[in-house]
Structures are given as structure tokens and as C-alpha cells.
A and B are shown apart, each in its own frame.
Chain A
Amino acid sequence: MGNSREEQDFLELYEAHSDAVFRRCYFKTSNRDVALDLTQEAFMRLWGYLAKGQRIDNMKAFLYTVVNNLIKDWYKKKKSIVLSRVEIVAEEIPDVSINIEEGAEVAHVIRMMERLDDGDRELITMRFIDGLSPRDIAEMLSEKENTVSVRLHRAVNRLREFLHGERK
């Protein structure tokens, strides 16, 4: 008796999406351990749902809904955090699998992202942190793909302006 086909599919899904899920959790919580826990919890919930025989039409969208809900729950429990998210990320990024220079640069970008409005920031997060395609984002936000592409393009330009403005 080996793994069932469903188990194998599920574990393949985990291999394919675990980094993206982890990344989202990490950038949202600024805590590597919490991000790992949330990633694990997200996939467990997904399996729990599948094991009950529930139908999932769009696996990726479902996974991100679960992840977002977990992050929201985590924020509710963490109201007492004093340090700002950006400060913690700036400290922790070099600790991840990128070098110090890159870490500082990424931290700077994140700091600039804080200036964007919520919609733009979420779009950039979905595209560049979660690694979702414009089509996936469109499906999740119930929008047209070209609308998402245009919005994304504008959001990136706004971020670029912030970055250039900062350097001048």
C-alpha cells in the first residue's frame, strides 16, 4: 500500500505552492516561525477540507483564502505588537535565503510599499510575493485579467516613483 493518488496529488500541490504560501505568511507576519506554522496550518486545513469530500473548484484561490483567513486570525491575536512590520522585516530579511545587500534592498522596497494604498499593495503582494499570474489574481478578485494587468502596471509605476523619489 503506497500513498493514495489523492495524497500524492496533495503532496505535489504542497511542493508546488509551499514557498509562495510561506512567502505570503512571512511578509505579512514578519516572523519566520509563525510563517512556517501558518503554512503548515493552511495545508492541513486544505487537506481537512478535501478529506471531508468537499469540492474545490479553484484550488489555488481556495488555498489563498485559507491563508488570508489564517493571517487575519493571527493579526487579531497579535494586537499587542509594538514594533512596526517594516522594522521587523528589515531586520529579518538578511536572515532568509538571500544575501545582506539584497535583504536591505528588499526591505527598502517593502518600506516603500507601505506608502501605496491597500489595493495597490495587495496587488503587488499577490504578483511578486505570492508569485500569482494576472489570470490567477483576476480569478481571485473576480475581475477581468486585462483590468488586473492595467492596475498592476499602474501600481508598479507608483511604487517606482516612490523609490526614485526616495533616492533623489
Chain B
Amino acid sequence: MSRASVVIVGSGAGGSVAAWELTRTGHDVLVLEKGRNLLPGIGTAAGIRHIPFANDEVKAGRAFENQDVVLEPRTARTQADAASDVARSFVGDVNTLPTTVGGGTVHWDAKVPRFWRQDFHGRSLYGPIDGANVADWPLSYEELARFYDVVERRLGVQGDVRAMPETTLAQAPRRRQFAMPPNPPMLAGTRLAAGAATLGYHAYPFPMAVNSRRLHGRPRCNSCGFCSGYGCPILARGSAAASFLHPALRAGARLRPRACVQRVELSANGRRAVGVSYLDEHMRERHVRADVVILAASAIETARLALLSASTAHPNGLGNRSGQLGRNVMFHLFTLGIALFADEPHAWRGPSTTFTIDDFVGPDSSAGARATGLPYLKGGICEVGGGLTLLEEADLYTVVPGTWGTMLKDAMRTSPLRRHLAGLSMVGEDLPQLANVVDLDPTIRDVYGLPVPRITHTSHPFEIAASHYFGPRLGAICAAAPGAIAAGWLPVGALAEATGGFGSPYAGPASTAHILGTARMGRDAETSVVDRWGRMHELDNVYVADGSVFVSSGGFNPTLTIMALSLRMARHLAGRIG
């Protein structure tokens, strides 16, 4: 087969990288994207222009690029609910991602740490954890490193190797300096970094796919502050769309927005995909044939699509003879530190945060950690020096019922939690569990008439304990920051867990765009869904190229690793079909 036709479901981080590589190697690529295209000019000679994103907090809350939960709700329940046959205990926004061309990286924070060597060998290095499904990945950091290099070069990543801790470089070795120097350090981050230093912790410039100088035809970041959660108005951020999908389209790939894939269509014997069916913007059913199908719709939607593709040959869902499909869904569990200052460190200026701390990644098997009853604890990296925007601040004050009138106006004016605040957040590793699963809701349908995904999830005691173990250290950093007059820490993920999960008042602050697991990668077809390259064990030509394949969540923002894995898969596939 010299020129294979490839259909990619999803235009986000994994799908765009696969499209770029497979187009580059001569294949006929069609990308089907459920969302609309909000990047005019993508794929044209003129490039992306007339960007509709702006410094606009209202639009960010009005389902612009985000999944519209009125059209596509999700449902959720806890493991205890499931044991009691409760169909669902929440309907609405369950860690949704942008549903648009470019996927989540349209408004990502663009923080791109690499996973560490130890993340790929968790079971071998540290052993099992009761109640969790800890396993090794079927690959090593060394196998992924060169793909990290390529993805970073295309994205354009800033950072400073010389400032990185020895532990970090030992766990995630790098061959060269970053393409760009760091952005100007945010004052709020500088304060907290100084606090960390007094306690022996090491803050350093956060590697991020943000231009600190003009690169790849895109301008430098001007620190407007509307970064995480906002589309970049000037395209200073690297992204799936700008860095991979656009050049793929220029090289001949095709993009079809508003194409909701509802089924992977199979050969008579069920061994091969022959194409997909989808609904277009007018809800008309369409069919497209393909030699290869790549699922890259994100961990929840990919599992859902595979379940929707059940057939006689795959009665429990595509590639799910093992019963593993949808299991092990992981979300990072965040813990916050907060410092208030008498002066105003304007934490809203800059690309969300400009520093990170690796000291709580772990594992920590000290006596203190083992006192929790677990053999070790792991936290994650800390994003250092973030703040709140104006409407986020208003939302926070009005969490207290009846807070309005002059009390609210005074709070907005004095602004203790915006003008005077700097925070840090720890990206806590979430252990995989077989009982944390994505399946199809038995009743509720979306606008396309398809069963919505139902997420059953309860945090493991491991991540709850880790949050309470590392949280006081975050508070201590905040208290030690020069000029801090009040400080504290908040186990926001653990609080959400304790007060209703996705229906909790804490669910908003605890929500995460880090969605992983559901189609685990592994060598054993009885305990995993895809092989070490991302191909479904039971199918010859169906691949998965998103966070679904993660075996563990690590304590790191996962998108760079999603992209590197997708590139590795695509190179393997190109060699196989080329």
C-alpha cells in the first residue's frame, strides 16, 4: 500500500500530530472534527487570521470553543453510586474539553513538562498499591525522548535547561537547550519562588509552548494574561492547530469540521475497520472509507466512540474483548496554595504562570508518607504564581450564599483575592483504578441522538493522602514568600471528592482538562486495549492517539506526552503502511 487513506477522528493534540506526520509521509489524510472551526484561514497560504478569540471572560463562559453541555451533557457517579445501581448522580460538565478545530490546545496553558523515566516503570520500581491498577508502560522514556524533541521543536518551547534541577534532568534528560529563553518572570511567581527557596525547594522557568520571541511566523507573547482557558488573540502560543494541523492541511490533508463520528465501520470478520460513519452539520449521515482509522477524540470521547461501535464481532465495544475499554480513567487531583500580600503583585499579567517546582513529584517513601498507610506518596509539579481574573474573583466571593450589595462591592474594590493574591497549584497524580470507568449512559442522549458518556470515578486514598501530605508544604511556601501577610492551602480536589464529586461546589475549581486512561497501552491483550504503538489489539488498522493510552497519569501536564506518543505511533504506522 503506497498511499493509504487515513481517517483521523479529532483534530486536537493527538489527531493533529498524527495528521502532520502521515501527510508528510505521503498518505491521504482526512481529519473529522466534531466541533466547528474557529480558526479562519487555517490551511490556507495566508494562514490563521481574523482570530475570534479575545481578552473576553464572558465568552469563555458561554460555550464558545468549549463543549456546550446543553448539546452534549455528560453524566457522572461515584463508585459507591455504581455499587448501589445508581444510574447517575450528576448531569452536566464533567471535565469537558474544547470541542473545536484544534481541540484543547486552542486555549491550553501550553505548559509542556516531560514525563519522567520513573513514570513509565511505576509497577516495577515501586510495586502495587492496593485497590489501584498500577502497571508499567510498554515503553521507556528513552524511546519517547526523540519524539519529545521533534514535538517541542515544532511547537516552539521556551525554557532554560541551566536552571532545571538535577533530578529533573536525570529523570527527563534533554539533548539541547530550549528554542527560546523564558518569558519575563511574573512578579507573583518570583515572590513564591523566593518563598520556596527559603524552604530548600527549587523553582525554575516553566517550559512552555509560548513564543518569547518571534518564531515559526508567530509573534512573541505580550503577557496579556488571558492565557489558560482563553484562545490566544495573537497566536503567540504553539498549538495542535497552528503547529501541526495547519502545515498538514497545507501539505494536502483535509479537514471536515462539524463531523460527529458515530461509529467505526468494520469488515465482515470484524478484524479491520473499513471506514467511519458520521453526522454532518445538518445531521445527515455520511460514510467515509479508509485504510486506517485513528481515534483521537480525547480519552472520554474515544472510549465512548469505541463503545458506540459495538458489533457482532465486538459485542462489548470495539476492541473490548478484555473488558478493559473505558477503565482506568484518570484525572489529576489539584491542591492549591494561596498567599496574600499587602501590595499588589498583579498575578494576572503573564502566561498564567512562569515558574514550576518539581520537588513534590515524588515518590516520597519517608516515614511521614508511610504514616498514611501507603508505601509511598506522589504529588506532582506545581504551577507557581497564578492568580484570578475579575470574574473569577467575583465568582469566588459569591460562592458564599447571599453575598451581594455593598459587601460584594467592597470585596471587588478592595480585592483581597485578586489584586493581593498569588497562588500555586500542584498537579497531583491520579492512580488508575479498574472501577473508574467511562461507559454509555443508559438513558441520556446528546444532540446527535447518541448515548452520552457516563463517568464513574472516585479518587483513590493515594491521591487524597498525597494532597493532604503535600498541601501544608504549599502553604508553607506561600507563607514564606517575601511580603506575604496571610497564606494557606486548599486540597480542592479532595474537597470536591468529599462533597459530592462532580456535583460539588468545589467541582468548578477542581475541574481539569487532563483526561487520561480508558484505552490502556500494554503488551498483554487481556489487560490492555492497545499495543505498544497504539494499535487496538483486536484490530489490524485501528489506532488510538490521545490520552486514552496512558498507563499512568504522572504528576505532569500531559499534552506534550500525548503529542509525542502520537508522533511515535504515526511514524510506526507510516513505516508499516508506507
Do the two chains belong together in a single complex? no
State the A residues within 8 Å of B (CB): none
